Structure formats: structure tokens, C-alpha cells
């Protein structure tokens, strides 16, 4: 056509690299799809099993994926995209390229041509193509083919030789006759493209309606759709990254997708045995019967045991058993927070052979670099806040790993169209998955967990000390076997002894101030004293009160520190409560509740919801270090206000505490009373965008938690931050979460600082007690 360029590009031209043409990238993506998920690939088996695609339907899935791979970037044959990749246009493109690719599929001549192969589901291919950058919606900012600037039309190059070559490859794959001639007109909302868009939007609505059906044919179609959408994102990521990084295409894919399945012996040698050796440095190791029994629970289980009972080692024994019963290539251990994921990495995954273990959360690269002073910990990762190209590289860099300690968002975020998580779906599909502290999931997270269990075939072990009855029933309805039950306890003497031993005496006090002298006196007597409050400001106030009473500063641990300072206080807090010979005193917020090995003699805590309070109790007399007769003193005080909790939750906790009384208390008693006094909760739904958006894909929110803070760099750290930024090093160590009202105004903000960071008043920061919001200059 007139004005058509000599070649079409799929990527920006990079210095020293050959240009990546549109035809080459389409062929590379199809080749990656076939090699990743083809019949000779072990990942092909695990991926289809994950999406519940029947064995006989695997060739049809691969056909759809390869056709989608060829079509996915066809819309890049336009003037705006060519200008963008050759750096002659800096304005936003008028229409996203994948929107145009999907539009071509709804041109009547193209749709009729493809329909000649009866095995092809046109809607499945179109949905995968339209959604592969997760920026396509029925409405909103990413509405399909809604212009993003003032232009009303865009020149297309659909008659270019490269486009014809791609369509010729589609013809070969589907055994069709020659491809139709595509329109030579500019794109606009006028015919033929406006009419094609209307037909496409109507088809998208019809598909969404069809997917609501629950018959077997609809479930099979949904499985094909979801697998094709996720598979295309993976294949596109591989094709882009392998070329960008100059890797050997076949060798790299074969190393990750065709490696042999894990053996139980490999899991034991890489993770379990090193952990047992660490335990034996402190005390003789004898496996608990319930840990051994965890291996017998099958592919779906809920392990409920008291804090400190040894659930994590039981979970790894379960994973070892899964490798005996089905082919898996990875073990993925998921935690609710960065801190708990990091502790899991330290204790277990970090001991795996170099290159096999991975820590995955938003600041994991910085965390691991900070661990390098400890020779027992290994790994490399990457910075957070990445663009899409770097998200791909981050995720693909993890494909070769075997053992993961990660935050739950990093792997289950695919259910809300998180791009990085979607790139990790092939890893998840090849894994045994352990999910810790499920009691702490907010309603949205728990719904996502149920969606995973409902729609995907993957071995899952959930763990917690306590769980509301409605949530337990919801998990059991999905096939999770609860262990242990009452009938198991006769054979679990070690667990019964650990859970039934009276570890505490619980009392209630009028207010926190009344406990300051109690805490100070216990510290003077050589006790380990842990104080837990519900808000950062109160932690800082209590720290100062105790410092005034003692003349020495207690440890103060919460979320509002620079990451490098938080690491230091985290390590100091854990070490202070793991030893038994010296006094210790720390004031913390909720950060102490989960997976931290703290062992206090005196615990003072503000009132909190029952599951959180039971977790806090689990930080006291954890190892019976003072002997069988010792009882930790636990004092519960009312907070100044209910935030961040709901008043009804705290009312339930008051009834729970009244039922406990003041006598000897065990974890077993706490669990039983929790079942009685937990607030009634509706049976949760199992909902996720990935399951229900059909043609579309727009990112959602994985957590319900309302963001009350913004990641900031202190103004006094800007010079250091700029040096790190120029060196392409992560800024994570300097980042502190700051309340929105304490973020400095944007006027005068450095232009080089990435937009997701704010700037805060460095004069309001104390490395011992964190950011003092009430002392900060800010927006208010």
C-alpha cells in the first residue's frame, strides 16, 4: 500500500541489537508456545492439568494458543506504533496495538476465514489477543479501541508483506485456504472497523453470559479460555525476553519446561535436612508425630496447630509426599507479609543449593542483599516497581528456581490480573503450594484463595493456628481435609502435649499506662517483656514511656521505618527473644503476630480481634524455656480507640476473654473458645477477575486493605537516593511508609524521583522509633 514502510517492528530498536520485526516476533511467540506447552514438555502436562483441560483436549488448547500467538501483535502494523518504536513519536498511541489485533479478528472476512476450521473457538483466540497486556476493558480507561488522544484515525499497514506472511502461517496451522485481503483503509470508527468493533463488543457480552453456565461444556470452554489467555502471556514474555537477553531459545525453554520432576529425596536434601541440622545445633531433633502425619494428608489439606508447634516443617514433609504422588517441579511457600516471607526464606528456602531458592516480594532484592552478611542465606532477585518489560524479566528469571518463599500476592495475584503473577502461572501450575497464616487473609484475599481451589488443579496445604468456623467450612467444602481432628489426638501425644500445656495466665487491665511499671519491673528482674499495640503512634508513645521509666530504650518494631532500619530492629527483636539468659524489652505493632519466633515471659497486649490476639499469645512461653511449671503472664488492655479494627470484632474478643478467665490457659483452650465466640461470618464467595472478564482483562486489587500511607524518601536521603537511582540500584533501603497527610507537597519534588515515591520530612524520623507523623511537616 502507499506509504507502507519497508519493515514492521515489534520492539524498539536497541543499540547493538538486530531489529525485531513483527513477523519474527509473531513466529517466535508461536514457537515459544509450542515448546513451552507442547506434547514433549512436562510443563505442557502440568499447565493443562492446572487448568483442568482433559488429556484429549490438549492438542486443541495448543492450537488455540499458537493461533493467538500469531495474531497477538498484528495491530502493531500501524503508524503510531512504528513511530513510537523508532522514537519519532513521544505522544500516547491513539489506540493500543492489542486492541487493533483483536479488532482485525472481528473483520467479517477474517472471522469467516477462520470459521472454516471447526475446531477453532474464535472468541477464545480474540479474548487472549485482546487481554495479553491486561489493559482491555468493557469501559473505563482501557475501553476497547477507545482513542487515547485527539486523533480520529490511524494509518494501518495490514497489506504489508509481513502481515501476509503471518496470516500465511495461520493458514498452514489451521489447514485453511488463502487468507483474505485485509482493508487498506485507515482505522477509524467508520466502516469497516466501526462495524467490526460493534460486533466484537457484542461477542464479548455474549461470551460473558455463556461463561456463567455451569454445565460441563461451559466449564471446558472456560478452562480453554483461561489457559489460552495465561499461556499467551507466558509465550509472549519468553519470546520478548529471550531475544532481548540474547539467550538460546530452545536451551532456555528446555531448562525450565522440560526438566525432570522433583523427587522426594531432592526436597529432603535441599530443604528439610539443612533445617533439621540447624535445629540440632540448639537441641536434639525428634520429629513430631503430627509432622510425619502431615505427609499422609493428600493433595488438599488444612493443618491447624498451635503457634510454635512446628507447622512449617510439617508442611515441607507434606510437599515431600506430594512429589511421590504426582509430578511437580517446584514448591511454593506463600506468606501474608514481606516479613513472614523473609523469615520463611531465612529458615528454610535460603538453605537450598545456590540458584534453586527464591525470595519473592516487593522488596526482595534489597532483603537478600542485606542477608549476604549471613553465610547461611543465598539468592539474588530484583527491584520492585518495574515496568512491564522488567516485570517479565523478573518473573522469567524465577522460572528456573525450585523453592519459593513469597508473599501470597506474588503468585495468586494472577487472579486479579497482576501481570508479574500471570507470568508466574506456569511455575504455580508445576508446584505444590503451601499457604501459611490463612486466618490473616482479608475477605478479598480469602475469596481469591477459594477461587484458586474451585477452578484450578494444584496441591494446596493451608496452615493456621486459628480459623473462623465459616472459613474452615468453606475450605472443607473445597476438599481440604482438616488435620488434626478430635479423633486424631489420641495418636498425637506430642501435639496434644504442646497444645494442651498451660502456657499462660491471662488477666485484663484498665489501660496501657497501668502496665508501664509492670513491664519495667519485669525487665529489671531479667524477664523478656513484649508489648503489642494496635497503632504505630501508640507504639512510639509507649516506647518513650518505658524509656523514661527505665533510663534505657526498649526495642521499637513496627512498619513505619526505613527498610534498612526495619531490618536491623527486626533482627534485634528476634535475637532478643530467642535467648533466655538476659532481659529483653520490645514494643511492637501487629508485625509480631505472624511467623516470628519470639518467646516472651511477660506479654502486654492491646485488645484485638480473636485470631490476632491468639497469634500474639503465641509469642509468650513459646518454647517452655523457663520449665514446665512456668506460666507466662499475659495482660490485655483496652486500646485508646478501636482503629484499625471494627468495634464488633473487639466486642467478640471481650466475650472470649471473659470465658477464658484468670486460670491456667493453653493454646488448646484458646482454639476451642474461639470456635464458640468468633463473630458469625457469611460463607465467602469465590470470585476473581481472571475467571469472569472473558474478552477483557483489567488489573484489580488483591487485598481489601485501605492504603493509608505512601512509600517515601526522606528529604535528607535524597542525595543518596539519587546516586542509587543513577547506578540503577534499588532505593528500597531508604523507603519509609508515611501517612498521606505527612507527605510533603509536590512543589519542588525532584524530577528524577520515580512517581510512586513521595518525599517526607527527615526531621520527623528517628532511627530508633521510626517516622513520627505528628512531628512531620506535610500536606496538611
pLDDT per residue as tens digits for the range 596-646: 778 999 999 999 999 889 989 989 998 888 888 999 999 999 998 998 888
Instruction: Say whether pLDDT at 381 is over 80.
Output: no
SS3 of 179-240: the string is CCCCCCCCECCCCCHHHHHHHHHHHHHHHHHHHCCCCHHHHHHHHHHHHHHHHHHHHHHHHH
> Which residue is listed with cell 519474527?
24
Q: Is there a contact between 483 and 303 (Cβ–Cβ < 8 Å)?
A: yes
**Polymer length in residues for the chain:** 780
Separation between Cα atoms, residue 634 and residue 504, nearest integer Å: 7
Residues 90-118 have a mean pLDDT of: 94
Name the residue among 27, 201, 30, 26 with its Cα closest to residue 105. 201
Fold exhibited by the domain 264-491:
Rossmann fold (3.40.50)
Where in the chain is CATH 3.40.50.300? 264-491, 502-665
Q: Is there a contact between 162 and 82 (Cβ–Cβ < 8 Å)?
A: no
Instruction: Say whether pLDDT at 232 is over 60.
Output: yes
Separation between Cα atoms, residue 537 and residue 523, nearest integer Å: 23
Separation between Cα atoms, residue 91 and residue 759, nearest integer Å: 28
The β-bridge partners of 504 are 632, 665
> Which residue is listed with cell 460473558?
208
Q: Is there a contact between 457 and 49 (Cβ–Cβ < 8 Å)?
A: yes
CA 415 from centre of chain: 10
Q: How confident is the model at residue 403 (pLDDT cuts 50, 70, 90)?
A: very high
Separation between Cα atoms, residue 594 and residue 615, nearest integer Å: 7
Q: How confident is the model at residue 480 (pLDDT cuts 50, 70, 90)?
A: very high
Separation between Cα atoms, residue 635 and residue 616, nearest integer Å: 11
> Which is more confident, 426 or 381?
426
The β-bridge partners of 9 are 21
Q: Is there a contact between 534 and 639 (Cβ–Cβ < 8 Å)?
A: yes
Instruction: Say whether pLDDT at 47 is over 50.
Output: yes
Q: What is the pLDDT of residue 383?
A: 32
Cell representation of residue 610 = 480473636
Q: Is there a contact between 433 and 460 (Cβ–Cβ < 8 Å)?
A: yes
CA 717 from centre of chain: 29
Q: What is the pLDDT of residue 398?
A: 86
Q: How confident is the model at residue 431 (pLDDT cuts 50, 70, 90)?
A: very high
Fold exhibited by the domain 22-257:
Hypothetical protein af1432 (1.10.3210)
Q: How confident is the model at residue 90 (pLDDT cuts 50, 70, 90)?
A: low
Separation between Cα atoms, residue 724 and residue 757, nearest integer Å: 14
Instruction: Say whether pLDDT at 769 is over 90.
Output: yes
Residues 691-706 have a mean pLDDT of: 85
> Which residue is listed with cell 485481503?
181
Q: Is there a contact between 170 and 95 (Cβ–Cβ < 8 Å)?
A: no
| Contacts (Cβ under 8 Å, ≥6 apart) of 409 | 361, 418, 421, 702, 703
Residues 434-445 have a mean pLDDT of: 89
Separation between Cα atoms, residue 583 and residue 150, nearest integer Å: 69
Q: How confident is the model at residue 38 (pLDDT cuts 50, 70, 90)?
A: very high
The β-bridge partners of 588 are 532, 557
Backbone angles phi, psi at 433, to 5 degrees: -115, 130
Q: Is there a contact between 307 and 620 (Cβ–Cβ < 8 Å)?
A: no
Q: Is there a contact between 765 and 736 (Cβ–Cβ < 8 Å)?
A: yes
Q: What is the pLDDT of residue 677?
A: 85
Cell representation of residue 194 = 466501526
Separation between Cα atoms, residue 98 and residue 100, nearest integer Å: 5
Q: What is the pLDDT of residue 706?
A: 52
Separation between Cα atoms, residue 93 and residue 188, nearest integer Å: 14
Name the residue among 435, 497, 477 with its Cα closest to residue 628. 497
- Other CB atoms closer than 10 Å to residue 680's CB: what's the count? 8
Q: What is the pLDDT of residue 374?
A: 32
Mean predicted lDDT score pLDDT of the chain: 88
| Contacts (Cβ under 8 Å, ≥6 apart) of 168 | 179
> Which is more confident, 284 or 375?
284
CA 667 from centre of chain: 30
Residues 130-158 have a mean pLDDT of: 92
Distances (CA, A) of 191 to 75, 183, 196, 460: 17, 10, 8, 51
Distances (CA, A) of 327 to 49, 259, 264: 11, 11, 11
Q: Is there a contact between 75 and 126 (Cβ–Cβ < 8 Å)?
A: no
Using a 10 angstrom Cβ sphere, with 0-12 exposed, 13-18 middle and 19 or more buried, the burial of residue 251 is exposed
Q: What is the pLDDT of residue 1?
A: 43
Instruction: Say whether pLDDT at 443 is over 90.
Output: no
Cell representation of residue 481 = 481435609
Separation between Cα atoms, residue 288 and residue 286, nearest integer Å: 6
| Contacts (Cβ under 8 Å, ≥6 apart) of 712 | 735, 736, 737, 738, 743, 757, 758, 759, 760
Separation between Cα atoms, residue 406 and residue 356, nearest integer Å: 14
Kind plus residue range of the DSSP H or E element containing 548: helix 536-550
Separation between Cα atoms, residue 569 and residue 572, nearest integer Å: 5
Q: What is the pLDDT of residue 243?
A: 75
Q: Which of 294-308, 415-429, 455-469, 533-547 has the lowest mean pLDDT?
A: 294-308
- Other CB atoms closer than 10 Å to residue 748's CB: what's the count? 8
Where in the chain is CATH 1.10.3210? 22-257
Dihedral sign from CA coordinates of 336, 343, 480, 58: positive
Residue 340 DSSP label: H
Within 13 Å and on the Cβ side, how many CA atoms surround 532?
27
Kind plus residue range of the DSSP H or E element containing 60: helix 58-71
> Which is more confident, 307 or 332?
332
Instruction: Say whether pLDDT at 19 is over 90.
Output: no
CA 519 from centre of chain: 38
Question: Is the CATH number of domain 502-665 3.40.50.300?
Answer: yes
Name the residue among 339, 337, 403 with its Cα closest to residue 367. 339
Instruction: Say whether pLDDT at 141 is over 80.
Output: yes
pLDDT per residue as tens digits for the range 342-368: 777 776 777 677 778 776 766 555 444
Distances (CA, A) of 162 to 3, 67, 98, 361: 15, 16, 17, 40
Q: How confident is the model at residue 185 (pLDDT cuts 50, 70, 90)?
A: very high
Name the residue among 7, 8, 6, 11 with its Cα closest to residue 239. 11
Considering only the C-alpha atoms of the chain, give the largest distance between any 2 of them, rounded to a whole number of Å: 91
Q: What is the pLDDT of residue 622?
A: 86
Separation between Cα atoms, residue 385 and residue 363, nearest integer Å: 9
Instruction: Say whether pLDDT at 193 is over 90.
Output: yes
Strand 357-360 versus strand 403-407 pairing type: parallel
Tell me if residue 615 falls in helix, strand or coil.
helix
Q: What is the pLDDT of residue 364?
A: 54
pLDDT per residue as tens digits for the range 245-286: 777 788 888 888 889 999 999 999 999 998 888 888 877 888
- Other CB atoms closer than 10 Å to residue 400's CB: what's the count? 14
Separation between Cα atoms, residue 499 and residue 672, nearest integer Å: 11
Q: Which of 150-159, 386-395, 420-429 has the lowest mean pLDDT?
A: 386-395
Kind plus residue range of the DSSP H or E element containing 172: helix 161-174
Amino acid at each position: 500500500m502507499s506509504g507502507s514502510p519497508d519493515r514492521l517492528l515489534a520492539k524498539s530498536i536497541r543499540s547493538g541489537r538486530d531489529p525485531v520485526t513483527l513477523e519474527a516476533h509473531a513466529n517466535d511467540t508461536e514457537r515459544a508456545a509450542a515448546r513451552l506447552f507442547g506434547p514433549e514438555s512436562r510443563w505442557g502436562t502440568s499447565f493443562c492439568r492446572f487448568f483442568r483441560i482433559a488429556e484429549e483436549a490438549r492438542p486443541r488448547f495448543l492450537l488455540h494458543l499458537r493461533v493467538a500467538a500469531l495474531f497477538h501483535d498484528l495491530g502493531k502494523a500501524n503508524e503510531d506504533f512504528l513511530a513510537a518504536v523508532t522514537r519519532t513519536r513521544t505522544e500516547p498511541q491513539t489506540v493500543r496495538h492489542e486492541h487493533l489485533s483483536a479488532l482485525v479478528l472481528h473483520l467479517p472476512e477474517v472471522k469467516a476465514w477462520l470459521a472454516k476450521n471447526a475446531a477453532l473457538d474464535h472468541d477464545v483466540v480474540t479474548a487472549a489477543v485482546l487481554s495479553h497486556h491486561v489493559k482491555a476493558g468493557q469501559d473505563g480507561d482501557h475501553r476497547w479501541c477507545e482513542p487515547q488522544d485527539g486523533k480520529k484515525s490511524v494509518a494501518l499497514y495490514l497489506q504489508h508483506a509481513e502481515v501476509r506472511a503471518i496470516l500465511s502461517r495461520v493458514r498452514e496451522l489451521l489447514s485453511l485456504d488463502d487468507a483474505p485481503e485485509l482493508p487498506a483503509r485507515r482505522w477509524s470508527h467508520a466502516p469497516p472497523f466501526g462495524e467490526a468493533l460493534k460486533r466484537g463488543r457484542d461477542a464479548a457480552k455474549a461470551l460473558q453470559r455463556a461463561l456463567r453456565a455451569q454445565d460441563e461444556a461451559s466449564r471446558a470452554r472456560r478452562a480453554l479460555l483461561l489457559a489460552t489467555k495465561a499461556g499467551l502471556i507466558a509465550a509472549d514474555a519468553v519470546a520478548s525476553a529471550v531475544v532481548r537477553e540474547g539467550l538460546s531459545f530452545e536451551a532456555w525453554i528446555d531448562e525450565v519446561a522440560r526438566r525432570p520432576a522433583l523427587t522426594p529425596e531432592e526436597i529432603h536434601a535441599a530443604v528439610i535436612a539443612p533445617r533439621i541440622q540447624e535445629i540440632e545445633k540448639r537441641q536434639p531433633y525428634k520429629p513430631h508425630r503430627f509432622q510425619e502425619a502431615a505427609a499422609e494428608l493428600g493433595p488438599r489439606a488444612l493443618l491447624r496447630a498451635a503457634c510454635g508447634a512446628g507447622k512449617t516443617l510439617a508442611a515441607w514433609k507434606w510437599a515431600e509426599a506430594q512429589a511421590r504422588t504426582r509430578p511437580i517441579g517446584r514448591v511454593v511457600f506463600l506468606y501474608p507479609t514481606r516479613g513472614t516471607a523473609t523469615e520463611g526464606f531465612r529458615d528454610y528456602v535460603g538453605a537450598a543449593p545456590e540458584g534453586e531458592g527464591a525470595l519473592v516480594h516487593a522488596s526482595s532484592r534489597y532483603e537478600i542483599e542485606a542477608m549476604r552478611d549471613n553465610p547461611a542465606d543465598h539468592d539474588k532477585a530484583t527491584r520492585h516497581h518495574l515496568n512491564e518489560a522488567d516485570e517479565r524479566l523478573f518473573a522469567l528469571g524465577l522460572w528456573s528456581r525450585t523453592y519459593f518463599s513469597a508473599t501470597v500476592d506474588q503468585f495468586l495475584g494472577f487472579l486479579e490480573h497482576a501481570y508479574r503473577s500471570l507470568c508466574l502461572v506456569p511455575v504455580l501450575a508445576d508446584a505444590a503450594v503451601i499457604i501459611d497464616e490463612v486466618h490473616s487473609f482479608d475477605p478479598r484475599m480469602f475469596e481469591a484463595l477459594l477461587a484458586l481451589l474451585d477452578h484450578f488443579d494444584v496441591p494446596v496445604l493451608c496452615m493456621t493456628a486459628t480459623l473462623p468456623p465459616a472459613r474452615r467450612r468453606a475450605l472443607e467444602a473445597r476438599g481440604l481435609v482438616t488435620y488434626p481432628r478430635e479423633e486424631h489426638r489420641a495418636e498425637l501425644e506430642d501435639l496434644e502435649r504442646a497444645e494442651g500445656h498451660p502456657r499462660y495466665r491471662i488477666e485484663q487491665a484498665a489501660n496501657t499506662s497501668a502496665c508501664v511499671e509492670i513491664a519495667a519491673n519485669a525487665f529489671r528482674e531479667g524477664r523478656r517483656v513484649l508489648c503489642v499495640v494496635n497503632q504505630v503512634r501508640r507504639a512510639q508513645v509507649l516506647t518513650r514511656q518505658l524509656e523514661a521509666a527505665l533510663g534505657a530504650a526498649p526495642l521499637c518494631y513496627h512498619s513505619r521505618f526505613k527498610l534498612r532500619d526495619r531490618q536491623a530492629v527486626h533482627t534485634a527483636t528476634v535475637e532478643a527473644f530467642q535467648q533466655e539468659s538476659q532481659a529483653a524489652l520490645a514494643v511492637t505493632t501487629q508485625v509480631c503476630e505472624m511467623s516470628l519466633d519470639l518467646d516472651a515471659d511477660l506479654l502486654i497486649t492491646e485488645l484485638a480481634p480473636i485470631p490476632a490476639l491468639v497469634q500474639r499469645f503465641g509469642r509468650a512461653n513459646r518454647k517452655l524455656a523457663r520449665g514446665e511449671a512456668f506460666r507466662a503472664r499475659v495482660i490485655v488492655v483496652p486500646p485508646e480507640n478501636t482503629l484499625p479494627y471494627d468495634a464488633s470484632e473487639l466486642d467478640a474478643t471481650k466475650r472470649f476473654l471473659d470465658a477464658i478467665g484468670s486460670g491456667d490457659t493453653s493454646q488448646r483452650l484458646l482454639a476451642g473458645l474461639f470456635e464458640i465466640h468468633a463473630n458469625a461470618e457469611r460463607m465467602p464467595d469465590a470470585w476473581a477477575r481472571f475467571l469472569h472478564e472473558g474478552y477483557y482483562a483489567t488489573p484489580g486489587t488483591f487485598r481489601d486493605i485501605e492504603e493509608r500511607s505512601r512509600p517515601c524518601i526522606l528529604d535528607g536521603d535524597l542525595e543518596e537516593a539519587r546516586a542509587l537511582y543513577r547506578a540503577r540500584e534499588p532505593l528500597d533501603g531508604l523507603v519509609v511508609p508515611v501517612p498521606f497527610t505527612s507527605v510533603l507537597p509536590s512543589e519542588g519534588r525532584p524530577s528524577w524521583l520515580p512517581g510512586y515515591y513521595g518525599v517526607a520530612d527527615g526531621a520527623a524520623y528517628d532511627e530508633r522509633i521510626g517516622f513520627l507523623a505528628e512531628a512531620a511537616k506535610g500536606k496538611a
